[in-house]
A and B are shown apart, each in its own frame.
Chain A
Amino acid sequence: MNKHFFSDMGVMVGRSMRHISRSMDTIITVTITPIALLLLFVYVFGGAIQTGTDHYVNYLMPGILLIAVASGISYTAYRLFLDKSKGIFERFHSMPIARSTVLWGHVLTSLVSNALSVIIIIFVALIMGFRSSAGVLSWLAVAGIIALFTLALTWMAAIAGLSAKSVDGVSAFSYPLIFLPFISSAFVPTESMPWAVRAFAENQPVTSIVESIRALLSNQPVGNEIWIALAWCVGIMIVAYFFAMRVYKARR
Chain B
Amino acid sequence: MQNQSIQVKGLQKSYKKLQVLKGVDFEVEKGTIFALLGSNGAGKTTVVKILSTLLKPDGGTATVNGFEVVSKSENVRKSISLTGQFAAVDEVLTGRENLIMIARLRHLEQPRQVADELLQRFGLTGAADRRASTYSGGMRRRLDIAMSLIGKPQIIFLDEPTTGLDPEARIEVWKVVKELADSGTTVFLTTQYLEEAEQLADRIAILHEGRLIASGTLEKLKKLFPPAKVEYVEKQPSLEEIFLTIINKKEETKDE
Contact = CB atoms under 8 A, between A and B. Distances in A.
Interface of A: 4, 7-8, 10-11, 14-15, 18-19, 22-23, 86-88, 90-97, 251-252
B88 A97 contact: no
A7 B54 contact: no
B147 A94 contact: no
23 contacts: A8-B105, A11-B101, A15-B93, A18-B97, A22-B92, A86-B88, A87-B84, A88-B90, A90-B49, A90-B52, A91-B82, A91-B84, A91-B88, A94-B52, A94-B53, A94-B77, A94-B81, A95-B77, A95-B102, A96-B74, A96-B78, A97-B105, A251-B54
A19 B88 contact: no
Interface of B: 49, 52-56, 74, 77-78, 80-82, 84-93, 97, 101-102, 104-107, 131, 147
Contacts of B91: 86
B104 A18 contact: no
User: Which of A23, A90, A94, A96 is most buried by chain B, counting CB atoms within 10 A of its CB?
Assistant: A94
Given A11-B101, A15-B90, 19 more contacts: A8-B105, A10-B104, A23-B92, A86-B88, A87-B85, A87-B87, A88-B90, A90-B52, A90-B54, A90-B82, A91-B88, A91-B147, A94-B80, A95-B77, A95-B105, A95-B106, A96-B78, A251-B54, A252-B54
B49 to A, nearest CB: 8
B97 to A, nearest CB: 7
A88 B78 contact: no
B56 A252 contact: yes
A96 B79 CA distance: 9
Contacts of A22: 92, 131
Contacts of B74: 96
Contact of B86 (A19, A87, A94, A252): A87
Contacts of B104: 7, 10-11
A97 to B, nearest CB: 5
Contacts of B81: 94-95
